[in-house]
Amino acid sequence: MTASLRGLWLKCHRWTALGLGWLLIVSGLTGSLLVVARPLDRWLHPHYFVAAQQPAAQAVSLEALRARLAFEFGPKAAFSFRPPREAGATLEVLVRGEWRGSLYLHPATGAEQGRRGEHEGVVSPLHGLHSALWLAQTGKAILGLAAFVYLLLAVSGIVLWWPRRWPPSLRIELGKGFTRASFDLHRIGGVVFALVLGVSIATGAYLAWRPIGGWISRLAGTPVVVAPRLPAGDGPAASLDELAAAAQAAFPDGRIGLFLYTPHLDRPLAVRMHVPDDPHPNGRSVVWLDPRSSQVLARHRWDTLDPGTRMNSIVYPLHTGQLGGVAGEATVAVLGLVLSALGGTGLVLWWQRRRARLRADRCKPAQPVLSKL
Protein backbone atom coordinates (compact mmCIF):
# COMPACT_ATOMS: atom_id res chain seq x y z
CA MET A 1 0.00 0.00 0.00
CA THR A 2 1.33 3.42 -0.91
CA ALA A 3 1.92 5.98 1.84
CA SER A 4 -0.77 8.32 0.49
CA LEU A 5 -3.39 5.53 0.35
CA ARG A 6 -2.49 4.37 3.83
CA GLY A 7 -2.84 7.95 5.08
CA LEU A 8 -6.31 8.12 3.55
CA TRP A 9 -7.39 4.89 5.29
CA LEU A 10 -5.95 6.17 8.56
CA LYS A 11 -7.86 9.45 8.34
CA CYS A 12 -11.06 7.57 7.51
CA HIS A 13 -10.57 5.30 10.50
CA ARG A 14 -9.55 8.05 12.92
CA TRP A 15 -12.21 10.65 12.15
CA THR A 16 -15.05 8.15 11.87
CA ALA A 17 -14.11 6.86 15.32
CA LEU A 18 -13.75 10.34 16.82
CA GLY A 19 -17.03 11.50 15.32
CA LEU A 20 -19.32 8.55 16.03
CA GLY A 21 -17.27 5.93 17.82
CA TRP A 22 -18.69 7.08 21.18
CA LEU A 23 -21.90 5.28 20.21
CA LEU A 24 -20.03 1.99 20.23
CA ILE A 25 -18.40 2.76 23.58
CA VAL A 26 -21.80 3.51 25.14
CA SER A 27 -23.35 0.38 23.62
CA GLY A 28 -20.52 -1.81 24.83
CA LEU A 29 -20.48 -0.51 28.40
CA THR A 30 -24.26 -0.53 28.86
CA GLY A 31 -24.54 -4.01 27.31
CA SER A 32 -21.99 -5.40 29.78
CA LEU A 33 -23.68 -3.63 32.70
CA LEU A 34 -27.08 -5.02 31.73
CA VAL A 35 -25.78 -8.60 31.86
CA VAL A 36 -24.72 -8.00 35.47
CA ALA A 37 -27.55 -5.66 36.51
CA ARG A 38 -30.45 -8.00 35.72
CA PRO A 39 -29.51 -10.91 38.01
CA LEU A 40 -28.23 -8.46 40.63
CA ASP A 41 -31.58 -6.67 40.57
CA ARG A 42 -33.40 -9.98 41.12
CA TRP A 43 -31.11 -10.79 44.03
CA LEU A 44 -31.48 -7.38 45.68
CA HIS A 45 -35.26 -7.12 45.14
CA PRO A 46 -36.76 -10.63 45.43
CA HIS A 47 -40.20 -9.25 46.36
CA TYR A 48 -40.62 -8.11 42.75
CA PHE A 49 -39.78 -11.43 41.17
CA VAL A 50 -40.53 -14.22 43.69
CA ALA A 51 -44.09 -15.02 44.79
CA ALA A 52 -44.54 -14.34 48.51
CA GLN A 53 -46.04 -17.77 49.11
CA GLN A 54 -46.35 -21.01 47.19
CA PRO A 55 -48.75 -20.35 44.30
CA ALA A 56 -51.97 -22.33 44.16
CA ALA A 57 -52.72 -24.60 41.24
CA GLN A 58 -55.32 -22.16 39.89
CA ALA A 59 -54.00 -18.92 38.38
CA VAL A 60 -55.69 -15.61 39.04
CA SER A 61 -58.40 -14.48 36.61
CA LEU A 62 -56.99 -12.15 33.96
CA GLU A 63 -60.39 -10.54 33.54
CA ALA A 64 -60.58 -9.75 37.25
CA LEU A 65 -57.11 -8.23 37.06
CA ARG A 66 -58.05 -6.19 33.99
CA ALA A 67 -61.12 -4.75 35.70
CA ARG A 68 -59.11 -3.85 38.80
CA LEU A 69 -56.28 -2.28 36.83
CA ALA A 70 -58.67 -0.36 34.54
CA PHE A 71 -60.33 1.10 37.65
CA GLU A 72 -56.94 2.26 38.97
CA PHE A 73 -55.19 3.36 35.77
CA GLY A 74 -58.16 4.36 33.63
CA PRO A 75 -60.26 2.62 30.94
CA LYS A 76 -57.87 3.68 28.17
CA ALA A 77 -54.79 2.07 29.69
CA ALA A 78 -53.16 -0.90 27.93
CA PHE A 79 -51.71 -3.87 29.80
CA SER A 80 -49.19 -6.52 28.79
CA PHE A 81 -49.49 -9.59 31.02
CA ARG A 82 -46.42 -11.81 31.32
CA PRO A 83 -47.26 -15.00 33.20
CA PRO A 84 -44.57 -16.67 35.32
CA ARG A 85 -41.95 -18.53 33.27
CA GLU A 86 -40.99 -20.75 36.19
CA ALA A 87 -42.56 -22.04 39.38
CA GLY A 88 -42.61 -19.52 42.21
CA ALA A 89 -42.21 -16.44 40.02
CA THR A 90 -44.54 -13.43 40.01
CA LEU A 91 -46.93 -12.29 37.29
CA GLU A 92 -45.61 -9.10 35.67
CA VAL A 93 -47.96 -6.53 34.16
CA LEU A 94 -46.59 -3.73 31.97
CA VAL A 95 -48.91 -0.70 32.26
CA ARG A 96 -49.19 1.89 29.49
CA GLY A 97 -51.54 4.70 30.48
CA GLU A 98 -51.33 7.93 32.46
CA TRP A 99 -48.93 5.97 34.66
CA ARG A 100 -46.32 3.86 32.91
CA GLY A 101 -44.41 1.11 34.60
CA SER A 102 -44.50 -2.50 35.80
CA LEU A 103 -46.57 -4.24 38.46
CA TYR A 104 -45.48 -7.47 40.13
CA LEU A 105 -48.41 -9.59 41.26
CA HIS A 106 -48.88 -12.91 43.00
CA PRO A 107 -49.91 -15.32 40.20
CA ALA A 108 -52.61 -17.05 42.28
CA THR A 109 -54.15 -14.23 44.31
CA GLY A 110 -53.35 -11.19 42.20
CA ALA A 111 -52.00 -9.40 45.27
CA GLU A 112 -49.54 -6.66 44.40
CA GLN A 113 -46.01 -7.31 45.66
CA GLY A 114 -44.46 -4.16 44.23
CA ARG A 115 -44.43 -1.67 41.38
CA ARG A 116 -41.89 0.35 39.50
CA GLY A 117 -42.31 3.42 37.37
CA GLU A 118 -40.94 3.36 33.84
CA HIS A 119 -37.71 5.08 34.87
CA GLU A 120 -37.28 3.69 38.37
CA GLY A 121 -34.54 1.30 39.39
CA VAL A 122 -31.33 0.72 37.46
CA VAL A 123 -32.21 -1.85 34.79
CA SER A 124 -34.92 0.12 32.99
CA PRO A 125 -32.94 3.38 32.47
CA LEU A 126 -29.87 1.35 31.56
CA HIS A 127 -31.85 -0.62 28.99
CA GLY A 128 -33.31 2.62 27.62
CA LEU A 129 -29.80 4.01 27.13
CA HIS A 130 -28.53 0.79 25.57
CA SER A 131 -31.45 0.23 23.21
CA ALA A 132 -32.42 3.78 22.24
CA LEU A 133 -30.00 6.31 23.83
CA TRP A 134 -33.06 7.64 25.73
CA LEU A 135 -34.26 9.09 22.41
CA ALA A 136 -37.11 6.66 21.54
CA GLN A 137 -37.29 5.86 17.82
CA THR A 138 -34.69 8.49 16.94
CA GLY A 139 -32.19 6.77 19.18
CA LYS A 140 -32.95 3.40 17.64
CA ALA A 141 -32.21 4.79 14.18
CA ILE A 142 -28.95 6.30 15.46
CA LEU A 143 -27.92 2.90 16.83
CA GLY A 144 -28.70 1.40 13.44
CA LEU A 145 -26.23 3.93 12.04
CA ALA A 146 -23.70 2.81 14.67
CA ALA A 147 -23.65 -0.65 13.08
CA PHE A 148 -22.60 0.92 9.77
CA VAL A 149 -19.96 2.96 11.63
CA TYR A 150 -18.53 -0.24 13.09
CA LEU A 151 -18.34 -1.73 9.61
CA LEU A 152 -16.26 1.25 8.44
CA LEU A 153 -14.00 1.03 11.47
CA ALA A 154 -13.53 -2.72 11.18
CA VAL A 155 -12.71 -2.65 7.46
CA SER A 156 -10.37 0.33 7.71
CA GLY A 157 -8.72 -1.11 10.83
CA ILE A 158 -8.05 -4.46 9.12
CA VAL A 159 -6.64 -2.67 6.07
CA LEU A 160 -4.27 -0.67 8.29
CA TRP A 161 -3.23 -3.78 10.23
CA TRP A 162 -2.75 -6.06 7.20
CA PRO A 163 0.85 -7.34 7.43
CA ARG A 164 3.29 -7.75 4.56
CA ARG A 165 4.48 -11.09 5.88
CA TRP A 166 2.53 -14.06 7.18
CA PRO A 167 1.90 -15.43 9.72
CA PRO A 168 1.32 -12.07 11.43
CA SER A 169 2.54 -11.31 14.94
CA LEU A 170 -0.23 -10.99 17.52
CA ARG A 171 2.08 -10.13 20.40
CA ILE A 172 1.02 -7.36 22.76
CA GLU A 173 3.91 -5.47 24.37
CA LEU A 174 2.91 -4.55 27.91
CA GLY A 175 6.41 -3.61 29.14
CA LYS A 176 7.19 -0.77 26.73
CA GLY A 177 5.00 1.96 28.09
CA PHE A 178 1.31 2.80 28.21
CA THR A 179 1.12 4.20 24.69
CA ARG A 180 2.69 1.11 23.09
CA ALA A 181 0.42 -1.20 25.10
CA SER A 182 -2.63 0.83 24.02
CA PHE A 183 -1.52 0.66 20.40
CA ASP A 184 -1.08 -3.14 20.47
CA LEU A 185 -4.34 -3.72 22.34
CA HIS A 186 -6.26 -1.50 19.92
CA ARG A 187 -4.70 -2.93 16.78
CA ILE A 188 -4.64 -6.63 17.65
CA GLY A 189 -7.83 -6.63 19.72
CA GLY A 190 -9.72 -5.01 16.85
CA VAL A 191 -8.56 -7.64 14.39
CA VAL A 192 -9.07 -10.68 16.66
CA PHE A 193 -12.55 -9.64 17.81
CA ALA A 194 -13.72 -7.99 14.58
CA LEU A 195 -16.07 -10.79 13.53
CA VAL A 196 -17.71 -11.60 16.88
CA LEU A 197 -18.11 -7.90 17.66
CA GLY A 198 -19.67 -7.48 14.23
CA VAL A 199 -22.23 -10.18 15.05
CA SER A 200 -23.04 -8.53 18.38
CA ILE A 201 -23.42 -5.07 16.85
CA ALA A 202 -25.43 -6.32 13.85
CA THR A 203 -27.88 -8.19 16.10
CA GLY A 204 -28.19 -5.11 18.29
CA ALA A 205 -28.99 -2.93 15.28
CA TYR A 206 -31.59 -5.45 14.13
CA LEU A 207 -33.31 -5.38 17.52
CA ALA A 208 -33.08 -1.60 17.87
CA TRP A 209 -34.50 -0.56 14.52
CA ARG A 210 -37.55 -2.42 13.24
CA PRO A 211 -37.28 -1.46 9.55
CA ILE A 212 -34.24 -3.76 9.24
CA GLY A 213 -36.47 -6.82 9.70
CA GLY A 214 -38.79 -5.58 6.95
CA TRP A 215 -35.86 -5.04 4.59
CA ILE A 216 -34.67 -8.60 5.20
CA SER A 217 -38.09 -10.04 4.38
CA ARG A 218 -38.43 -7.95 1.22
CA LEU A 219 -34.97 -8.97 0.04
CA ALA A 220 -36.04 -12.59 0.56
CA GLY A 221 -39.15 -11.93 -1.53
CA THR A 222 -41.48 -12.77 1.37
CA PRO A 223 -44.38 -10.54 2.45
CA VAL A 224 -44.18 -9.27 6.02
CA VAL A 225 -46.75 -10.88 8.32
CA VAL A 226 -49.15 -8.22 9.59
CA ALA A 227 -52.20 -8.22 11.82
CA PRO A 228 -55.34 -9.55 10.09
CA ARG A 229 -58.36 -7.36 9.49
CA LEU A 230 -61.06 -7.38 12.10
CA PRO A 231 -64.48 -8.54 10.81
CA ALA A 232 -67.19 -5.90 10.70
CA GLY A 233 -69.54 -5.73 13.64
CA ASP A 234 -69.71 -4.53 17.19
CA GLY A 235 -70.42 -5.88 20.60
CA PRO A 236 -69.04 -6.02 24.12
CA ALA A 237 -65.50 -7.11 24.81
CA ALA A 238 -64.91 -10.78 25.52
CA SER A 239 -63.47 -11.87 28.84
CA LEU A 240 -59.67 -11.94 28.94
CA ASP A 241 -59.89 -15.48 30.33
CA GLU A 242 -61.88 -16.57 27.26
CA LEU A 243 -59.35 -14.90 24.98
CA ALA A 244 -56.46 -16.56 26.81
CA ALA A 245 -58.18 -19.96 26.54
CA ALA A 246 -58.67 -19.45 22.79
CA ALA A 247 -54.99 -18.58 22.33
CA GLN A 248 -53.93 -21.59 24.37
CA ALA A 249 -56.17 -23.87 22.27
CA ALA A 250 -54.51 -22.53 19.11
CA PHE A 251 -51.12 -23.78 20.39
CA PRO A 252 -51.85 -26.64 22.83
CA ASP A 253 -48.14 -27.44 23.20
CA GLY A 254 -47.21 -23.85 24.09
CA ARG A 255 -47.65 -21.39 26.92
CA ILE A 256 -48.65 -17.73 26.91
CA GLY A 257 -45.50 -15.61 26.79
CA LEU A 258 -47.15 -12.18 26.54
CA PHE A 259 -50.84 -11.26 26.56
CA LEU A 260 -51.00 -7.86 24.83
CA TYR A 261 -54.26 -6.30 25.95
CA THR A 262 -55.55 -3.05 24.49
CA PRO A 263 -58.97 -1.52 25.29
CA HIS A 264 -59.62 -0.78 21.60
CA LEU A 265 -62.27 -3.10 20.13
CA ASP A 266 -61.65 -1.97 16.55
CA ARG A 267 -58.35 -3.86 16.19
CA PRO A 268 -57.26 -7.48 16.71
CA LEU A 269 -55.78 -8.55 20.02
CA ALA A 270 -52.40 -10.31 19.93
CA VAL A 271 -51.16 -13.07 22.22
CA ARG A 272 -47.56 -14.21 21.91
CA MET A 273 -47.07 -17.91 22.55
CA HIS A 274 -43.91 -19.78 23.50
CA VAL A 275 -43.72 -23.25 21.95
CA PRO A 276 -41.09 -25.82 23.01
CA ASP A 277 -38.66 -25.29 20.10
CA ASP A 278 -38.70 -21.47 20.19
CA PRO A 279 -35.45 -20.02 21.64
CA HIS A 280 -37.04 -16.63 22.34
CA PRO A 281 -37.89 -16.36 26.08
CA ASN A 282 -41.21 -14.59 25.39
CA GLY A 283 -42.05 -16.67 22.34
CA ARG A 284 -42.61 -15.33 18.82
CA SER A 285 -45.53 -17.50 17.78
CA VAL A 286 -48.61 -15.28 17.66
CA VAL A 287 -52.37 -15.70 17.84
CA TRP A 288 -54.60 -12.87 16.60
CA LEU A 289 -58.05 -12.78 18.22
CA ASP A 290 -61.29 -10.90 17.77
CA PRO A 291 -61.54 -9.04 21.12
CA ARG A 292 -65.36 -9.19 20.96
CA SER A 293 -65.93 -12.88 20.26
CA SER A 294 -62.51 -14.49 21.09
CA GLN A 295 -62.52 -15.96 17.56
CA VAL A 296 -59.06 -16.86 16.26
CA LEU A 297 -58.42 -14.64 13.23
CA ALA A 298 -54.91 -15.95 12.47
CA ARG A 299 -52.19 -18.03 14.07
CA HIS A 300 -48.55 -18.11 13.07
CA ARG A 301 -45.94 -20.41 14.49
CA TRP A 302 -42.59 -18.64 14.95
CA ASP A 303 -40.82 -20.72 12.28
CA THR A 304 -43.48 -19.90 9.66
CA LEU A 305 -43.24 -16.12 9.99
CA ASP A 306 -41.48 -13.98 7.39
CA PRO A 307 -37.65 -14.17 7.62
CA GLY A 308 -37.20 -10.70 9.11
CA THR A 309 -39.59 -11.46 11.97
CA ARG A 310 -38.59 -15.11 12.37
CA MET A 311 -34.97 -14.09 12.92
CA ASN A 312 -36.02 -12.32 16.13
CA SER A 313 -36.40 -15.66 17.91
CA ILE A 314 -32.67 -16.34 17.45
CA VAL A 315 -31.25 -12.81 17.28
CA TYR A 316 -32.69 -11.67 20.63
CA PRO A 317 -31.31 -14.50 22.81
CA LEU A 318 -28.07 -14.44 20.80
CA HIS A 319 -27.58 -10.72 21.44
CA THR A 320 -28.41 -10.96 25.15
CA GLY A 321 -26.43 -14.18 25.62
CA GLN A 322 -29.45 -16.16 26.86
CA LEU A 323 -29.01 -18.57 23.96
CA GLY A 324 -25.85 -19.91 25.62
CA GLY A 325 -26.91 -19.78 29.27
CA VAL A 326 -24.45 -18.41 31.82
CA ALA A 327 -21.51 -18.91 29.43
CA GLY A 328 -23.33 -16.99 26.70
CA GLU A 329 -24.15 -14.08 29.01
CA ALA A 330 -20.54 -13.96 30.25
CA THR A 331 -19.35 -13.85 26.63
CA VAL A 332 -21.68 -10.95 25.86
CA ALA A 333 -20.42 -9.06 28.92
CA VAL A 334 -16.79 -9.57 27.86
CA LEU A 335 -17.51 -8.48 24.28
CA GLY A 336 -19.09 -5.28 25.58
CA LEU A 337 -15.97 -4.52 27.59
CA VAL A 338 -13.76 -5.31 24.58
CA LEU A 339 -15.75 -2.92 22.41
CA SER A 340 -15.41 -0.18 25.03
CA ALA A 341 -11.69 -0.91 25.43
CA LEU A 342 -11.15 -0.57 21.68
CA GLY A 343 -12.83 2.82 21.76
CA GLY A 344 -10.92 3.88 24.86
CA THR A 345 -7.51 2.86 23.53
CA GLY A 346 -8.30 4.62 20.27
CA LEU A 347 -8.98 7.85 22.19
CA VAL A 348 -5.73 7.41 24.14
CA LEU A 349 -3.72 7.02 20.93
CA TRP A 350 -5.35 10.08 19.37
CA TRP A 351 -4.73 12.17 22.49
CA GLN A 352 -1.09 11.07 22.77
CA ARG A 353 -0.53 11.86 19.10
CA ARG A 354 -2.13 15.28 19.53
CA ARG A 355 0.00 16.07 22.60
CA ALA A 356 3.18 15.02 20.76
CA ARG A 357 2.30 17.30 17.85
CA LEU A 358 1.64 20.25 20.17
CA ARG A 359 4.98 19.69 21.95
CA ALA A 360 6.77 19.53 18.60
CA ASP A 361 5.16 22.79 17.50
CA ARG A 362 6.25 24.52 20.72
CA CYS A 363 9.85 23.31 20.31
CA LYS A 364 10.21 24.64 16.77
CA PRO A 365 12.60 27.61 16.62
CA ALA A 366 11.02 30.89 15.73
CA GLN A 367 11.56 31.96 12.14
CA PRO A 368 13.49 35.26 11.87
CA VAL A 369 11.59 38.13 10.36
CA LEU A 370 13.56 39.75 7.53
CA SER A 371 12.95 43.39 7.06
CA LYS A 372 12.58 44.68 3.58
CA LEU A 373 15.35 46.94 2.44
- Tens of pLDDT along 198-210? 999 999 999 988 8
* Whole-angstrom distance, CA of residue 79 vs CA of residue 92: 10
Task: Report pLDDT for 54.
Answer: 67
Above 70 in pLDDT, residue 29? Answer: yes
Q: What is the pLDDT of residues 327-349, one digit of tens each?
A: 999 999 999 999 999 999 999 89
Task: Report pLDDT for 8.
Answer: 83
Q: Are strands 285-289 and 269-274 parallel, antiparallel or unpaired?
A: antiparallel
* Whole-angstrom distance, CA of residue 351 vs CA of residue 373: 45
Name which of 63-72, 173-182, 249-258, 303-312 the model is least confident about: 173-182
Q: What is the pLDDT of residues 107-153, one digit of tens each?
A: 999 999 999 999 999 999 999 999 999 998 899 999 988 888 888 88
pLDDT band at 230; cut points 50, 70, 90: very high
| Element spanning 178, H or E | helix 178-192
Task: Report pLDDT for 360.
Answer: 82
Above 70 in pLDDT, residue 192? Answer: yes
Interhelix angle for 312-320 vs 194-208, to 10°? 120
Q: What is the pLDDT of residues 259-288, one digit of tens each?
A: 999 999 999 999 999 999 999 999 999 999
Above 60 in pLDDT, residue 40? Answer: yes
Q: Which residues contact 314 (CB under 8 A, 6 or more apart)?
A: 279, 280, 323
Its pTM stands at 0.88
Q: Which residues contact 345 (CB under 8 A, 6 or more apart)?
A: 182, 183, 185, 186, 189
* Whole-angstrom distance, CA of residue 11 vs CA of residue 153: 11
